[in-house]
């Protein structure tokens, strides 16, 4: 595992975590793509080797399993599974925003585990987590927990991560020098994805027409995938997403596509507008309006696509 200043506190937690002496609740928080899920998985492996009954679950999966159990009369079995563990590891608790019944169920799960001497570790995808959406009782519990931040990596750390990953991916080959590393996304999963796709090289020294050509080729790859996924999410034909239709669903899906290219893949609104032959200032303005009006849906869609991206990277 790559260790540097940005994740040093979390790695120290991983190294020294002891079920008996640990706090009742720990919150690991930070921006997307910095390794929160990986840390939970490593803690889970460590605790299972220590024969500590552990449940590791994503918050959205918790909500889905709870809903299914409630609908099929299997709540007793669900609660027995969730509440019988000694250590609950819950990933992305922020994804429960707006899911009041799931939040209430999680609160009682938490209380049950703590009451019998258990512990909880949760992750929150934000560099400044706010717990109010969980309700006063649950929020107060988390605020009393130990907060472990994952900081924004410096440019130097990002370059060190590239070197670390390349050596791990291709041991014995010194190919780091092939990459011109001037600007990198502040997201390790995106860096891995770009390495695997062969499009990491910086274009800082290239002429503008070469930059534009490269950006278009790179966006071709990502946009084809996103168009399919966003169309499926909104139940639209792909041609509708790319056309000039003005229905609410079509417009929302179209601008969600632009926003995902901007926020998940870190393309500028200028590059996106140039790719889709749109006016840059209007595309940016309308995209931000759509995001503001549909915050929760945008977060859910990003999370779904991000999980898919992570799964694809692991498969490679």
pLDDT of residue 199: 53
What would the mean pLDDT of 220-245 be, rounded to a whole number? 85
pLDDT of residue 212: 46
Q: Decide which of 172 and 297 is more confident.
A: 297
Residues 160 and 309 in one domain: yes
Provide the token pair at 37.
Answer: 């899920």
Provide the token pair at 216.
Answer: 């278009």
Among 84, 114, 149, the domain-final residue is 149
Cα gap 265→263, rounded to integer Å: 6
Number of independent structural domains in the chain: 2
Structural domain span for residue 265: 155-315
pLDDT of residue 173: 52
Residues 130 and 175 in one domain: no
Residues 177 and 102 in one domain: no
Residues 179 and 289 in one domain: yes
Residues 91 and 239 in one domain: no
3-state secondary structure the chain: CCCCHHHHHHHHHHHHCCCCCCCCEEEEEECCCCCHHHHHHHHHHHHHHCCCCEEEEEHHHHHHHHHHHHHHCCHHHHHHHHHCCCEEEEECHHHHCCCHHHHHHHHHHHHHHHHCCCEEEEEEECCCCCCHHHCHHHHHHHHCCEEEECCCCCHHHHHHHHHHHHHHHCCCCCCHHHCCCCCCCCCHHHHHHHHHHCCCCCCCCCCHHHHHHHHHHHHHHHHHHHHHHHHHHHCCCHHHHHCCCCCHHHHHHHHHHHHHHHHCCCCCHHHHHHHHCCCHHHHHHHHHHHHHHCHHHHHHHHHHHHHHHHHHHHHC
CATH number at residue 13: 3.40.50.300
Residues 37 and 135 in one domain: yes
Residues 166 and 248 in one domain: yes
Helices 269-276 + 248-263 axis angle, to 10: 130
pLDDT band at 149 (very low <50, low <70, confident <90, very high): very high
Mean pLDDT of the chain: 83
Residues 105 and 186 in one domain: no
Residues 145 and 159 in one domain: no
Residues 101 and 162 in one domain: no
Cα gap 127→143, rounded to integer Å: 15
pLDDT of residue 218: 55
For residue 271, pLDDT beyond 60? yes
Residues 23 and 128 in one domain: yes
Over residues 187-223, the pLDDT tens digits come to: 787 777 766 665 555 433 334 443 444 445 556 767 8
CATH number at residue 206: 1.10.1750.10
Among 149, 176, 197, the domain-final residue is 149
Among 149, 164, 185, the domain-final residue is 149
Predicted TM-score of the model (pTM): 0.64
For residue 140, pLDDT beyond 50? yes
Residues 127 and 194 in one domain: no
Distance of CA 103 to the CA centre of its chain: 20
Question: What is the percent of the chain with per-residue pLDDT over 70, rounded to a whole number?
Answer: 82
């Amino acid at each position: 595992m790559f260790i540097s200043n940005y994740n040093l506190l979390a790695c120290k937690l991983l190294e020294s975590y002891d079920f008996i002496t640990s706090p009742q609740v720990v919150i690991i928080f930070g921006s997307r793509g910095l390794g929160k899920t990986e840390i939970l998985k490593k803690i889970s492996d460590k605790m299972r080797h220590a024969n500590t009954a552990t449940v590791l679950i994503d918050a959205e999966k918790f909500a889905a399993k709870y809903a299914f159990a409630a609908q099929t009369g299997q709540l007793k079995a669900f609660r027995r599974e969730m509440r019988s563990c000694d250590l609950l590891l819950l990933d992305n608790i922020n994804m429960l925003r707006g899911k009041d019944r799931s939040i209430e169920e999680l609160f009682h799960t938490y209380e049950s585990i703590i009451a019998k001497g258990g512990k909880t570790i949760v992750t929150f995808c934000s560099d400044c987590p706010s717990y109010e959406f969980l309700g006063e009782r649950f929020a107060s519990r988390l605020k009393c927990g130990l907060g472990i931040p994952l900081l924004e990596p410096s440019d130097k750390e990002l370059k060190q991560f590239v070197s670390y990953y390349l050596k791990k991916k291709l041991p014995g080959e010194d190919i780091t020098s092939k990459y011109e590393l001037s600007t990198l996304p502040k997201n390790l999963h995106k860096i891995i994805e770009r390495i695997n796709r062969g499009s990491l090289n910086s274009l800082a020294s290239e002429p503008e027409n070469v930059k534009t050509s490269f950006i278009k080729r790179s966006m071709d790859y990502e946009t084809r995938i996103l168009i399919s996924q966003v169309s499926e999410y909104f139940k639209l034909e792909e041609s509708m997403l790319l056309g000039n239709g003005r229905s609410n669903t079509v417009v929302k899906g179209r601008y969600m596509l632009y926003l995902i290219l901007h926020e998940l893949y870190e393309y500028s609104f200028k590059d996106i507008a140039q790719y889709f032959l749109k006016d840059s200032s209007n595309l940016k303005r309308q995209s931000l309006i759509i995001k503001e009006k549909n915050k929760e849906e945008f977060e859910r869609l990003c999370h779904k696509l991000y999980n898919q991206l992570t799964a694809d990277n692991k498969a490679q």
